[in-house]
Amino acid sequence: MSAKRSVIIITYGRTGSTLLVGLLNTADRTLIRGENGNFFYNLYKAYSALVQSKRRGGTKPNHPFYGIDKADLTGFIAMCRQAVYKVLAVPRPWLSGPTTIGFKEVRYLQMGERDLLEYIDFMDMIFPDPVYVFLTRDHEKVASSGFYKSKKNKRKLAEKLAACDRKFENIASRRTNTFSIDYKDLKADSEPLRELFAFAGLAYHPDRIEKILKTDHSPQTPKHLVRRTSPADAAG
């Protein structure tokens, strides 16, 4: 059986996104993965480049865009749908795989609003019945957490975080398949958290939630990789 729905977490660093992944994965037959280095965003950029180039395609061999007008966009999207399952390592259908899949990503501070909106439109085409979760957190707490603590220009960071929150709000106001939640609501007996589960069509199990909340979800990147794997757009 293929997955019936998707939950995609859109956020920035130090918002508790790894914890949210753990909480969502308490739902039956749910498989939400962590970050993937913006892999699906790069698929979107490839698709966008193909669409734009296709419009310029020529029929003669001496045309600089000769033959690109024959590119199979439908086939490319079908390939991207297959990539969803390959990259997220979803179990094969006959192994009774998950009915809900997804991932989280934090690389959105530098992404423009229009770019993000078009990226979401692209994900609508390749993910099954997607729900987009915008996760935010108090900016002062973000700035004093993890890799952000070493950023010297706190004002610039605060401006980026505020702009990102506005971007999330604007996009959420235009779509019906988004849900916004804050780090402070990732706790037991949280009504917003229960509402998120209901919105995504997931069963809420209080006992499982309690267990996850007692588990450490802080970064576990090996020390020799920390500098290379911290989000590039986290720079203040």
Cα distances (angstroms) measured from residue 76 to each of 58, 86, 125, 136, 202:
20, 15, 11, 33, 31
When pLDDT is averaged across residues 75-91 and rounded to a whole number, the result is 93
Weakest-pLDDT range from 20-34, 100-114, 131-145, 218-232: 218-232
Nearest of 7, 23, 60 to residue 204 by alpha carbon? 23
Question: Residue 43 belongs to a domain with what CATH number?
Answer: 3.40.50.300
Instruction: Kindly report the average pLDDT of the chain as a whole number.
Output: 91
140 burial level (CB within 10 Å; 0-12, 13-18, 19+): exposed
Q: What would the pLDDT profile of 53-64 be if each residue is shown by its tens digit?
A: 999 887 888 888
Nearest of 139, 135, 168, 165 to residue 151 by alpha carbon? 139
Residue with tokens 């939640």: 181
pLDDT at 229: 46
CB 170 within 8 A of CB 116: no
pLDDT at 221 over 70: no
How many independent structural domains does the chain possess?
Answer: 1
Q: What would the pLDDT profile of 132-149 be if each residue is shown by its tens digit?
A: 999 999 999 999 988 788
pLDDT at 219: 66
When pLDDT is averaged across residues 177-196 and rounded to a whole number, the result is 98
pLDDT at 230 over 60: no
Query: What range defines the domain where residue 212 resides?
Result: 5-234
Q: Which helix (H) or strand (E) holds 125?
A: helix 113-126
When pLDDT is averaged across residues 208-226 and rounded to a whole number, the result is 78
pLDDT at 223: 61
